[in-house]
Amino acid sequence: MPNFRLFFLQRISEDITTISHFRTYIVIFKKTDSLAYSIYDLTKPTFEE
């Protein structure tokens, strides 16, 4: 559901202050001891970290 997805990203964005354009980023969630997320810049090659 796009609506849920947008709401979800908006909720996450509250903790993200360095991203100015969500459309160029992808948020990857990984569940470990606590919920953690990694952000990848889609404008850069995937082999760059």
pTM of the model: 0.17
Q: What is the DSSP string of 5-46?
A: HHHHHHHHHTT--S-S-GGGEEEEEEESSSEEEEEEETTS-T
Tens of pLDDT along 18-28? 444 455 555 55
pLDDT number for residue 28: 54
- 30 touches 36 (CB < 8 A): yes
- Phi/psi for 7 (5° steps) reads -60, -40
What confidence score (pLDDT) does residue 25 get? 54
Per-residue confidence (pLDDT) for residue 39, from 0 to 100? 56
Instruction: Give the tens place of pLDDT for each residue, 1-49.
Output: 445 555 566 565 555 544 444 555 555 555 444 444 555 555 555 544 4
Cβ atoms of 25 and 19 within 8 Å: the answer is yes
